[in-house]
Amino acid sequence: MCGIISYCGNRQAIPILIDGLKRLEYRGYDSAGLSTVDKNKMVTIKTVGKVSQLENKTAGTRINSSFGIAHTRWATHGKPSETNAHPQTDCHNKISIVHNGIIENYLELKEELQNKGHQFKSQTDTEVIAHLIEDNYENDLEVAIIKSVERLVGTFGIAVIHTDYKHQIFIVKRGSPIIIGIGDNEFFAASDSNALAPYTHKMVYLSDDEIAVLNSNRFYIKNMKNEILEKKIEILDEDEYKMDKKGYEHYMLKEIFEQPESIKNAFRGRIILNEGVSKLGGLEPVLGRLKNIKKLIIVSCGTSYHAGLLGRYIFETLTELDIEIELASEFRYRRLKLNEDVAVLAISQSGETADTLAAIKEAKRKGALLLGIVNAVGTSIAQITDAGVYNHAGPEIGVASTKIYTSQLVIITLIALFIGRYQTVSFIEGSELLTALKKLPDQIKDILKNAKQIEKIALRYAHFKNFLYIGRLYNYPTAMEGALKLKEISYAHAEGYPAGEMKHGPISLIDENFPTIAIVPKDSTYDKMINNIQEIRARSGRILSITNDGEDKIKNISDDLILVPQTLSILQPILNIIPLQLFAYYIAKEKGCDVDKPRNLAKSVTVE
Ligand code: M6R
């Protein structure tokens, strides 16, 4: 989704801004632009499409400036166009602004400003901020910005420059992430630490309603009461944001192949085998409260929601808690009884998903204990939660989440065991689970060795337009996630269903052109899954089975079969999803789709 990068220092700004934008490209966007001040004039260059096009446009301009703001836009208000791209400017082209988030009361403000004579050029909500600052400006830009943001309803991370304030950038945050990067006599601001990786590892995370003012040799941060704040400088580990395809054709493929390592990173140092328990330092501060909770509600979106869906079964198996799982975007509409007996667990790769953030803010208001499973260190969800566990899976650049999903499942299992061992789970059960967990990386390596065979199978399915994915119990979420992977990157229509529900509707879709991907582990669901496959075959449906049973019973009724190693039922989904990720990848590649940046999607969804 939208990305911001700003630079203020002694070097030429444009190459740094362009480079930063390129590092934000993976988030998904449709247009890009930048502003700087050269010879006392605001210079703004924008384009629809790729950052490389913006780079070409800046190439012949000979701009000489060492500060500026830049943006990649993912359209919300107004279609992708040069006019609607950011930066947006005021009437006199003195103020320029880039913005992430949504201004909910922009129409009302726009009308008010138009009545005062302001001329608007774009259809964006962002432009209203530039005009509002212009309207509030007397002789102090900082004061004008503070006055203006007080009027804004919604979420924003903004960066503002003014032709009269050379070498100064004003940053404000409410709801959308902004990080300040600290270099040697140079400062940066970005919506994502990845954009700053080549320049500095020293970061300060702004909290809501804080304003940062950067210039080339100093910066300060204030709250809205004009008080200077002492903020902690975080040093980010290089591995947290290394962006490199390492010879793989796509980030997604690389990330699928990184799973043996990302899973190890999820449990490294978190297992005490001889006590059959997990050790989660991030939860220790709330241990007293955690031991007393009666109910856990998991909130998340997309792939993280599927991890939560499986989490419900995992927590039910390992703990005595009442478990609910809710889509973060729906959570706020419910009249849930939240109190100190309830913990709300947010699961989010990016740590910035607006729906999840809104859900946990709601839960906080009502007194629940907030827990998080987050990959991106220091992000909003990580900051707001009372305690949590980081994935430590490294950056995930492909928009389709792969390695984070399996990493989330490992961490959910560790949290459930952590709680369960204070309840009824025995030492033996805990040890068995952890022993099986430790074997997963090698078992995944075995699956990945068959990637070529999975590719061959995938190519036989690439021409189909519709797919049904079915599974039961622990593998119902696997079916959902397998279908999501295929639809988001290959644009084929795919539905994930609990297999038992098939006969209540989706079976009417089945014919020879509507294949089914059946997830058939050798567990308590096996016989029922075999029955479902028979029902599909009776309607001429083609079947690809993902199973750990190589026997004739399943072979004879499947058109294609992918074998995965066997583990405990509760962990089997972590293995079963790997061939489905590869299946989706190879189909999307065969269809010539932009695998890492599927159309209309963004990596970090920062609007509700
Ligand atoms: O960053 P989050 O985990 O909170 O993101 C949630 C979803 O937007 C995300 O999982 C999305 O569904 C992915 N594109 C799935 O591959």
d(CA 455, CA 235): 41
pLDDT digits (tens, 9 = 90+) for 333-351: 888 888 889 999 999 999 9
Checking if the pLDDT of 242 tops 70, the result is no
The helix (H) or strand (E) run that includes residue 584 is helix 572-590
d(CA 405, CA 488): 15
The answer to whether the beta carbons of residues 229 and 195 sit under 8 Å apart is: no
Query: Quick one: pLDDT at residue 29?
Result: 83
Q: Which of 142, 149, 143 is nearest to 128 (CA)?
A: 149
Distance 176 CA to ligand 1 centre (A): 16
Residue closest by Cα to atom 16 of ligand 1: 400
Report, as an integer, the average pLDDT of 157-168: 96
pLDDT digits (tens, 9 = 90+) for 36-85: 999 999 999 999 998 999 999 999 888 999 999 999 998 888 989 999 99
Torsion, CA 76, CA 353, CA 27, CA 391, rounded to 10? 180
pLDDT digits (tens, 9 = 90+) for 124-137: 999 999 999 999 99
Q: What is the percent of the chain with per-residue pLDDT over 70, rounded to a whole number?
A: 99
- Residue 414 tokens read as 């560790």
Domain residue spans in the chain?
A: 3-241, 251-447, 451-590
Residue closest by Cα to atom 4 of ligand 1: 348
pLDDT digits (tens, 9 = 90+) for 181-223: 999 999 999 998 888 988 999 999 999 999 999 988 899 999 9
Ligand 1 atom nearest residue 485's Cα? 16
Query: Quick one: pLDDT at residue 410?
Result: 98
In this structure, the strands spanning 202-205 and 210-214 are: unpaired
pLDDT digits (tens, 9 = 90+) for 286-326: 999 999 999 999 999 999 999 999 999 999 999 999 999 99
pLDDT digits (tens, 9 = 90+) for 21-42: 999 888 778 899 999 999 999 9
Topology classification of domain 451-590: Rossmann fold (3.40.50)
Distance 376 CA to ligand 1 centre (A): 13
Three-state DSSP class for residue 192 = coil
Report, as an integer, the average pLDDT of 16-22: 95
Distance 193 CA to ligand 1 centre (A): 18
One fold for both 251-447 and 451-590?
A: yes
Ligand 1 atom nearest residue 302's Cα? 12
Checking if the pLDDT of 375 tops 90, the result is yes
Most ligand 1 atoms within 8 A of CB, residue of 331, 401, 604 to mutate: 401
Most ligand 1 atoms within 8 A of CB, residue of 251, 309, 349, 390 to mutate: 349
Ligand 1 atom nearest residue 303's Cα? 10
pLDDT digits (tens, 9 = 90+) for 385-432: 999 999 999 889 999 999 999 999 999 999 999 999 999 999 999 999
Instruction: Record the pTM.
Output: 0.82
The answer to whether the beta carbons of residues 125 and 71 sit under 8 Å apart is: no
Give Dmax (Cα) for the chain: 82
pLDDT digits (tens, 9 = 90+) for 260-282: 999 999 999 999 999 999 999 99
pLDDT digits (tens, 9 = 90+) for 473-521: 999 999 999 999 999 999 999 999 999 999 899 899 999 999 999 999 9
Checking if the pLDDT of 244 tops 80, the result is no
603 is catalytic: yes
Distance 303 CA to ligand 1 centre (A): 5
Which one is catalytic: 2, 8, 301, 593? Answer: 2
d(CA 212, CA 244): 31
CATH architecture of the region 3-241? 4-Layer Sandwich (3.60)
Distance 372 CA to ligand 1 centre (A): 15
The helix (H) or strand (E) run that includes residue 8 is strand 3-8
Most ligand 1 atoms within 8 A of CB, residue of 176, 192, 303, 408 to mutate: 303
Residue closest by Cα to atom 12 of ligand 1: 302
Q: Which of 576, 529, 570, 519 is nearest to 311 (CA)?
A: 570
Average pLDDT value for the chain:
94
The answer to whether the beta carbons of residues 96 and 30 sit under 8 Å apart is: no
Amino acid letter, residue 401:
S
Burial profile 323-345: b = 16 or more Cβ within 10 angstroms, e = fewer: bbbbbbbebbeeebebeeebbbb
- Residue 438 tokens read as 């430790």
Report, as an integer, the average pLDDT of 583-599: 95
d(CA 313, CA 315): 6
- Residues with Cβ within 8 Å of residue 107, at least 6 apart in sequence: none
Q: Rg of the chain's alpha carbons, rounded to an integer?
A: 25
- Going 235 to 240 to 242 to 243, the CA torsion angle's sign is negative
Burial of 453 (0-12, 13-18, 19+ CB in 10 A): middle
Q: Return the number of other C-beta atoms located less than 10 Å from residue 207's C-beta.
A: 15
- Residue 487 tokens read as 């639809």
Which one is catalytic: 173, 487, 589, 603? Answer: 603
User: Helix/strand/coil (H, E, C) string of 31-61?
Assistant: EEEEEEEECCEEEEEEEECCHHHHHHHHHCC
Query: Quick one: pLDDT at residue 604?
Result: 77
Tell me: cis bond preceding 87? Omega within 30 of 0 counts. Answer: yes
d(CA 215, CA 239): 29
Region at 367 (left for phi over 0; alpha for psi -120 to 50; beta for the rest): left
- Residues with Cβ within 8 Å of residue 322, at least 6 apart in sequence: 294, 295, 296
Q: Which of 289, 302, 453 is nearest to 385 (CA)?
A: 289
Distance 442 CA to ligand 1 centre (A): 26
Superfamily of domain 251-447 in CATH is Glucose-6-phosphate isomerase like protein; domain 1 (3.40.50.10490)
Distance 97 CA to ligand 1 centre (A): 28
Distances (CA, A) of 567 to 92, 128, 224, 530, 564: 66, 56, 54, 20, 9
The answer to whether the beta carbons of residues 79 and 85 sit under 8 Å apart is: no
Lining residues, ligand 1, CB within 6 Å: 301-304, 348-350, 353, 356, 399-401, 488, 601, 604-605
